[in-house]
């Protein structure tokens, strides 16, 4: 009698990371854990029956603040030392006015991350490059692409909320969710110095 074949095919997982949502969430709760290796984090989120296909990190280059720009450049260089794929939006200045006193000031805001995430999730679903998406964000603007890849392409979406970024509408729609905690973040930190492919050493910023 022949033995029945055991299905050993693993579930393909792609991770989509909302960089600013993750950064501000960590900064609000665990500021010492911002030196985060998101590729290692993604690997740590997998179950034994899953395999990691791709990790996308969505962000925008900040401006008008040289110290912050330098720290961001260092961190993005650290991410580039891993297989993480970086996709950029825009960082724009915006004027705000106080109706009471008439005072005007400049603020900065990131644009296009939610659109870029939606496009990449849809592209992967259309090309059938993943079975399950892990979305690291608490942005309610991502409800629509989550529902679309679920309904039209039968993809699963597991949501990982950054600290203090839990969103009820996203959780209700997702095929499971969790909140990033101290232990999970602590296990995926870059070392204090990283040896790059060009032979240079990249050091963690002393002020973050």
Structure tokens at 37: 């290796």
Structure tokens at 132: 């399950």
Nearest to 121 by CA among 107, 111, 131: 131
Has residue 1 been placed in a domain?
A: no
**How does strand 193-195 pair with strand 201-203?**
antiparallel
d(CA 164, CA 146): 21
The yes-or-no verdict on residue 40 having pLDDT over 70 is yes
Has residue 3 been placed in a domain?
A: no
pLDDT tens by residue, 120-171: 999 999 999 999 999 999 999 999 999 999 999 999 999 999 999 999 999 9
Has residue 88 been placed in a domain?
A: yes
pLDDT at 1: 45
Mean pLDDT within 80-101: 78
| Residue 193 dihedral angles phi and psi, to the nearest 5° | -135, 145
Has residue 101 been placed in a domain?
A: yes
For residue 7, the SS3 value is coil
Has residue 107 been placed in a domain?
A: yes
Q: Which domain holds residue 163?
A: 11-203
Residue with tokens 């699963």: 156
Domain count, the chain: 1
Q: What is the pTM of this model?
A: 0.89
Has residue 19 been placed in a domain?
A: yes
Has residue 6 been placed in a domain?
A: no
Has residue 47 been placed in a domain?
A: yes
Find the CATH number of the domain harbouring 181. 3.40.50.1010
Nearest to 42 by CA among 171, 154, 187: 187
């Amino acid at each position: 009698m022949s033995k029945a074949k055991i299905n050993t095919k693993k579930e393909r997982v792609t991770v989509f990371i909302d960089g600013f949502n993750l950064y501000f969430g960590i900064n609000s709760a665990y500021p010492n854990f911002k030196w985060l290796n998101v590729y290692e984090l993604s690997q740590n989120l997998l179950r034994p029956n899953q395999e990691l296909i791709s990790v996308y990190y969505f962000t925008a280059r900040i401006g008008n603040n040289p110290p912050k720009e330098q720290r961001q450049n260092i961190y993005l260089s650290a991410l580039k030392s891993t297989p993480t794929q970086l996709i950029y939006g825009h960082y724009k200045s915006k004027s705000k006015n106080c109706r009471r006193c008439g005072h005007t000031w400049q603020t900065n805001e990131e644009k296009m991350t939610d659109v870029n995430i939606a496009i990449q999730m849809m592209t992967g679903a259309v090309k059938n490059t993943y079975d399950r998406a892990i979305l690291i964000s608490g942005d309610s603007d991502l409800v629509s692409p989550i529902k679309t890849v679920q309904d039209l392409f039968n993809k699963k979406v597991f949501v990982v909320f950054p600290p203090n970024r839990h969103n009820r509408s996203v959780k209700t729609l997702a095929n499971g969710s969790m909140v990033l905690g101290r232990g999970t973040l602590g296990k995926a930190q870059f070392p204090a110095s990283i040896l790059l492919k060009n032979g240079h050493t990249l050091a963690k910023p002393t002020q973050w």
